Amino acid sequence: MKNYQKYLRQKKKQKRARTLQQLKKHPSLPRINQAKFPRRQRPAWKAAALLIAAGLFAIILVVPTIIVVPYTNSSGSENIMKEKQMNTTKSNNDDKAELADDSGMSVPVMRHQSQQIESIPLETYVARVVANEMPAEFEMEALKAQALAARTYVVYQLANKDKENGYVTDTEQDQVYRNDLELRKIMGKDYDKKMGKIKKAVAASKGQILTYEDNPIFPAFFSTSNGYTENSEDYWGNKLPYLRSVKSPWDEKSPKFMDQKTMEVTDVGRALGVSLPANGAIPVEVSRTDGHRVKEIKMGKKTFSGKEVREKLDLRSSDFTMEQKDNYLIFTTKGFGHGIGMSQYGANGMAKEGKNYKEIVKYYYKGVKISTLQETAPKLVSR
């Protein structure tokens, strides 16, 4: 057995020796192990290149994130907050920014609730009056015309009052005025939009007033006509050359153009101070003005002006008709207001047709000029 194992070992040695001799004679022949199990190894420079590329990719992604995120969360937020604060400050200072009062004139306003006089810069006063006297939704040129009328009105009033009574009220006795806080409560979320529009309209005519023969006019205005404005003497008794009756067809589109009011005959008689028959037809005689309003009306044994009937019965207009049904009188009115001067809905209608504010005021106020405060009322400016 041992001899046999020794024999096998010698055979293996001999076989190995022959293989080595063949390899020496034929060096191009592959070795047995390499032929069965080939191994592919990457060169060292390729591995290094891959590592460097991966590192650069990570830097490109990570570093900007590290830089940008802190900046956005701190500086970016601060910049946004600063911008918001600037916008808020601008909104709160709109009066100063848009209506900086170069005239130096202030308006003394008697507040009816506090019975205290407040001194308001002229252009600020005008803006707040326009906000109360005309809807902000009206056309820009109509708002400009209203601003010009409002400024002229207060200049006229102050120029014709003595120092002791040198103020205006905040009611319809003069022009309706509310301060900024009161307007914010009324307008609510629309305050900035509405007041921004109004302030632009006021700024467009800043320092301007309407004059006739170099004097400020009395710029009467009202809501809605009956299709015509009224001569001043036909309603107030005194004739003013610039307050003449003109056609105003645009008012027919006003929501306030027509109205009806029904009253018992006895209530009408009591309000007018006249005895009217409770049963049977009431005899009526009517005459009308150039503006198609009631000039005089005879009811029973008394004659009244159209103005008297309108005010005593609280009718919208002095253009009215009266219809009797049993014990009731039905008053149908056209228009809203006294009818003298500029119709606000008429001005808006003109603006919609492309007329500018100068054309509007010169249509409703005959023979007027647009002048400056410095030219016309230097004493008020320096007061």
Q: Could you say which residues of the chain have pLDDT below 50?
A: 28-42, 62-98
Instruction: Record the tokens describing residue 186, joined without a space.
Output: 């009324």
Residues β-bridged to residue 212? 215
Same domain, 293 and 371: no
Same domain, 217 and 346: yes
Phi and psi torsions of 39, nearest 5°: -120, 130
Question: How much is the pLDDT for 217?
Answer: 97
Contacts of residue 188, defined as CB under 8 A and 6 or more positions apart, other chains included, come to: none
**pTM for this model (two decimals):** 0.73
Same domain, 325 and 346: no
Question: How much is the pLDDT for 96?
Answer: 44
Q: Residues 169-224: pLDDT tens digits?
A: 999 999 999 999 999 999 999 999 999 999 999 999 999 999 999 999 999 999 99
Same domain, 273 and 134: no
Number of separate domains in the chain: 2
Contacts of residue 137, defined as CB under 8 A and 6 or more positions apart, other chains included, come to: none
Same domain, 316 and 351: no
**Lookup result for tokens 């001999």:** 14
* DSSP secondary structure string for all residues of 295-306: EEEEETTEEEEH
Question: How much is the pLDDT for 319?
Answer: 98
Q: Residues 306-361: pLDDT tens digits?
A: 999 999 999 999 999 999 998 999 999 999 999 999 999 999 999 999 999 999 99
CA 273 to each of CA 249, 251, 266, 277, 301: distance values in angstroms, whole numbers, following the listed order? 36, 33, 10, 13, 11
Residue 140 forms part of a structural domain: yes
Q: How far apart are CA 254 and CA 247, in angstroms?
A: 15
Residue 272 forms part of a structural domain: yes
Same domain, 184 and 320: no
Question: How much is the pLDDT for 54?
Answer: 61
- Which residue range is the domain that position 308 belongs to? 258-334
**Lookup result for tokens 């002006």:** 305
Same domain, 355 and 283: no
Q: How far apart are CA 342 and CA 364, in angstroms?
A: 5
Question: How much is the pLDDT for 248?
Answer: 98
Q: List the one residue out of 119, 118, 127, 131 whose CA is nearest residue 97.
A: 127
